[in-house]
Amino acid sequence: MLLKHASSTTPTAKRRYVVQILLSVLALLIVGYGGASWYLWANQRELIFSPSREVQRTPADLHLKYEDVRLPVGRNNPTILHGWWLQSDDAAAPALLYLHGNDLNIGGSVEAAARLRRMGFSVLIVDYRGYGKSGGGFPSEAQVYEDAETAWNYLIQDRRTDPGKTFIYGHSLGGAIAIDLAVRHPEAAGLIVESTFTSMRELAKIAYWIFPTDWLLDQRFDALAKVTMLRVPVLFIHGRADTEIPYTMSERLFMATRGYKWLTLIPGGGHEDSASVGGTLYTRAVLDFTQHNRHDR
């Protein structure tokens, strides 16, 4: 006679075991998610700013004359900003402050500065703290705003440029910095914003969509909120093929701006090459905007 042995594991015990496994996995996921969120919060400045100390190119590589400038900045921890002044041959030419993006340094923006110089502007381009030959440690949002303010004051006070003929130009992250600067200087002739985002929190949602970036990031660069306060004419430029910052963000900035505003979208333009891809479209947009809004005093 064969006897059936009862299983040592009852269905109830099996269910408990499965629940314990699931709870353990869930706990690991929560811990991992929390750790990743903490990392994003703790390292947000390193994820936003990508400075390089090595300046690989200068205007001399493009056969342009320039002058090295060094600007004192900072009250609590004073240091020196480094930049280049590219003087136009025309003494009456409008001036332009160029604020570059988040990576490398002014050496990576030589082509942009040279292009604007050849279009007839006197150009000042300056590295933020921690970039290139500028002093200071790793930058922050508050510091780069102060750096831009220092560069603007240098143009107006030391170079004695007429604010009514002086434009602020910002690319990518520099666009958000330029918007902040222009809000504080309504006497500027105008503002040009290229390939810029609405806010750092919204941009972070694209790459880190699974994390609550709305409350994790304190480096906000909230350009969308600030454009509503602008009292200077604004030209927005963006490449339609930009894969780093969607051109729809420039459209939203344009719609939120209340004053005189222009929007130029470059077909096929990427994040870095809208000027070269756009060619005449880009050049005419910049020249028409600046010629229409400069005010000789």
**What secondary structure does DSSP assign to 164-231, as a single string?**
GGEEEEEETHHHHHHHHHHHH-TTSSEEEEES--S-HHHHHHHHSTTS-HHHH------HHHHGGG--
Q: Number of C-alpha atoms within 13 angstroms, CB side, residue 51? A: 18
CA–CA distance, 249 with 46 (Å, rounded to integer) = 23
CA–CA distance, 191 with 193 (Å, rounded to integer) = 6
Would residue 88 show up in a list of annotated catalytic residues for this protein? Answer: no
Q: Phi and psi dihedrals of 45, rounded to 5?
A: -65, -40
CA–CA distance, 51 with 92 (Å, rounded to integer) = 34
List 127, 147, 180, 242, catalytic entry:
242
List 134, 172, 250, 274, catalytic entry:
172
List 100, 109, 271, 274, catalytic entry:
271
* Cβ pair 109, 62 in contact under 8 A: no
Reduce the DSSP state of residue 73 to 3 states and report it.
strand
Would residue 63 show up in a list of annotated catalytic residues for this protein? Answer: no
* Cβ pair 6, 13 in contact under 8 A: no
Rg (CA), the chain: 25
Give 263's strand partners: 236
* Cα–Cα nearest to 170, from 100, 249, 221: 100
Would residue 214 show up in a list of annotated catalytic residues for this protein? Answer: no
Q: In what order do the strands lie in the sheet with 67-73?
A: 67-73, 79-86, 122-126, 95-99, 166-171, 190-194, 234-239, 261-266
Q: Number of C-alpha atoms within 13 angstroms, CB side, residue 47? A: 18
Report residue 51 as tokens: 């400075």
**Alpha helices for 43-120 (secondary structure H):** 44-48, 110-118
Catalytic residues: 172, 242, 271
